[in-house]
């Protein structure tokens, strides 16, 4: 795909994005469901607020550790408060301030939660063309919209059609990689296929629009977590880096 083709895809997304739930339906820290606190900022993420819930305990979630008073008001995560978000490719924090010195940019697809360094996402969108990578990177730095790789199947490069089961997406939680159900690589097993010694990498019933939650084969599963290692970086009020990590 050439750079000019990217611009033609800017409004292209699933056939029914208008029906999509605004916030994430699982915790951004532990990837489990339950009762969640949603960020009112631009990241659209949801979190377990306290370690009290059984769901948070089951997934070893670090949670936000909010107190009762903090739970009574609307919540904005530290990333959104300080305009610092992680790149979904390299996981490094960068400024998402749209007014000056922007370092990471959010995908233009409706309600996409992913931010990227222009260089990181350009390498994925234009893998075999260094000149096209450079042009796309410059365009993103200039503020032009882009659609990240998570909105096309990693095998057939087509978009999702959530009305057709085979064309529904399984979406990786650790990188911008999605697959149609019919395109899933061999070796990816769902939880309902569980058997002794089988590594589970996909779950139904946790995401919107009949999508499956996935950890693709590029990520090693931590047996204690039953997920790949997970790290979320925040910025604390004293402007020191803080980290929530389960390793």
Token pair, residue 127, equals 């893998």
pLDDT tens across the length of the chain (247 residues): 334 444 334 334 444 444 556 789 999 999 999 999 999 999 999 999 999 889 999 999 999 999 878 787 899 999 999 999 999 999 999 999 999 999 999 999 988 999 999 999 999 999 999 999 999 999 999 999 999 999 999 999 999 999 999 999 999 999 999 999 999 999 899 998 877 778 899 999 999 989 999 999 999 999 888 899 988 888 654 455 455 543 3
CATH of the domain at 169: 3.30.40
Q: Is the pTM of this model over 0.75?
A: yes
Instruction: Please indicate, yes or no, if residue 247 is contained in any of the structural domains.
Output: no
Number of Cβ within a 10 Å radius of residue 151? 23
Instruction: Please indicate, yes or no, if residue 123 is contained in any of the structural domains.
Output: no
DSSP code, position 75: B
Instruction: Please indicate, yes or no, if residue 21 is contained in any of the structural domains.
Output: no
Q: Are 88 and 114 in contact (CB under 8 A)?
A: yes
Instruction: Please indicate, yes or no, if residue 177 is contained in any of the structural domains.
Output: yes
Q: Are 56 and 33 in contact (CB under 8 A)?
A: no
Give the count of domains, the chain.
Answer: 1
| Domain that includes residue 217, residue range | 152-225
- The helix/strand/coil state of 246 is strand
DSSP code, position 134: H
The closest alpha carbon to 26, from 113, 150, 121, 152, belongs to: 113
Distance CA 172, CA 181 (A): 12
Instruction: Please indicate, yes or no, if residue 238 is contained in any of the structural domains.
Output: no
């Amino acid at each position: 795909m050439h750079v000019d083709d990217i611009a033609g895809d800017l409004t292209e997304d699933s056939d029914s994005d208008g029906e999509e739930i605004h916030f994430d339906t699982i915790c951004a820290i532990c990837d489990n469901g339950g009762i969640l606190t949603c960020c009112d900022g631009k990241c659209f993420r949801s979190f377990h607020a306290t370690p009290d819930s059984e769901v948070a305990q089951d997934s070893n979630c670090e949670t936000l550790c909010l107190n009762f008073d903090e739970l009574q008001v609307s919540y904005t995560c530290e990333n959104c408060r300080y305009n610092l978000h992680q790149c979904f490719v390299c996981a490094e924090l960068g400024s998402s301030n749209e007014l000056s010195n922007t370092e990471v940019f959010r995908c233009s697809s409706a309600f996409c939660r992913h931010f990227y360094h222009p260089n990181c996402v350009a390498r994925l969108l234009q893998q075999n063309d260094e000149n096209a990578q450079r042009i796309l990177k410059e365009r993103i730095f200039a503020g032009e919209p882009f659609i990240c790789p998570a909105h096309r199947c990693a095998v057939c490069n087509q978009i999702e059609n959530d009305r057709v089961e085979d064309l529904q997406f399984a979406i990786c939680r650790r990188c911008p990689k999605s697959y149609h159900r019919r395109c899933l690589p061999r070796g990816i097993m769902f939880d309902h296929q569980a058997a002794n010694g089988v590594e589970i990498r996909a779950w139904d019933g946790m995401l919107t629009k009949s999508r499956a939650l996935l950890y693709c084969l590029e990520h090693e599963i931590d047996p204690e977590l039953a997920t790949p290692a997970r790290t979320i970086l925040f910025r604390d009020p004293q402007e020191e880096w803080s980290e929530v990590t389960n390793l």
